[in-house]
Amino acid sequence: MSEDDDALRVVNAKRREQMQRSADHYGQFLDQAEDYLHGKRGITVEEGRSYGLGYVPAGEALDGDEQYVGRLVIPYRTRNGVVQLKYRCTGDHDNCKKITLLSTDPDTGKEKWDGHEKYMQPAGVDPSLYNVEAFHADSSVIIVTEGEADAMAVELRTGLPAVGYPGVGLWASRKFRHWRLCFDPYTTVYIIADGDEPGRSSAKRLLKDLQNGIPVYMPDGHDATSYLMEYGTDALLDKLGYGVDYDDIPDDEDDDEDLPDFD
């Protein structure tokens, strides 16, 4: 090992300690995020605690964390501690980057907006799969969703282990090719597809890498959380039970037709 590697390891270990400390500290204040957590995500404070969620109230931000005030804290927990930490906006914003229109250029029509990131996180931390604890569950099936909130909601309601991936770009990237291998041992991987074009095409990409994958398409405009909140757990379980709802598969999912028929 080079000295550089050693130095990197020290920095990394320190960062993880810090993230663990932050998660522990902000976890005390989760009840202050109840309106958001329960109202918008259908998750009770008690359930949120089981995932180590937290909240950053004004006056309780740790040194250097002032920019996280008012945000939900989502630790990526492993058996060896927190490996990533996300701070999610809990404001009632359709688009966090476009909150206040500052000006519109009269010539070009170009708009200037004031806003912020929906998610923030400490610098220098690599992306991870969310809720890798799910891989320890005694189960032949597992569910994969886009993002943390859906993984929590689906796992809480169905009782089946669920893991969140942080977007199809990262999933498909060379650096994180190993993620797909984590799903290899399962009989079935249910891939929840959000009810829009990006959601369906992301699911399709995962399906390409997971031969044990079954896509579960949410109706238009729904993700797993909104589906659960509107239709309930039984409806989602029903969807999982049937696996593929053939009517919902986009028409271009016809790759197999090019295969020659066997006599």
Residues that bind Zn ion (CB under 5 A): 89, 91, 93, 96
Shortest distance (Å) from residue 68 CB to Zn ion = 12
Contact 129, 179 (CB under 8 A): yes
Distance CA(205)–CA(253), nearest Å, equals 11
Shortest distance (Å) from residue 171 CB to Zn ion = 25
* Residue number with CB closer to Zn ion (31 or 114): 114
Radius of gyration of the CA atoms of the chain, in A: 20
* Residue number with CB closer to Zn ion (25 or 116): 116
Strands (DSSP E) along 18-168, which ranges? 54-55, 71-78, 81-89, 100-104, 111-114, 119-120, 141-146, 162-165
* Residue number with CB closer to Zn ion (63 or 94): 94
Q: What number of CA atoms fall less than 13 Å from residue 16's CA on the CB side? A: 15
* Residue number with CB closer to Zn ion (72 or 89): 89
| CB count in 10 Å sphere of residue 68 | 23
* Residue number with CB closer to Zn ion (83 or 89): 89
Collapsed DSSP state (helix, strand, coil) of residue 5: helix
Residues 6+ apart with CB under 8 A from 108: none
Shortest distance (Å) from residue 73 CB to Zn ion = 15
Concatenated DSSP letters of 192-240: EE-SSHHHHHHHHHHHHH-TTEEEEEPPTT--HHHHHHHH-HHHHHHHH
Shortest distance (Å) from residue 91 CB to Zn ion = 4
Shortest distance (Å) from residue 119 CB to Zn ion = 10
Which token pair is 36?
């958001």
Residues 6+ apart with CB under 8 A from 211: none
* Residue number with CB closer to Zn ion (41 or 239): 41
Shortest distance (Å) from residue 56 CB to Zn ion = 14
Shortest distance (Å) from residue 70 CB to Zn ion = 9
3-state DSSP: the chain helix, strand, coil percent, rounded to 5?
Answer: 45, 20, 35
* Residue number with CB closer to Zn ion (70 or 195): 70
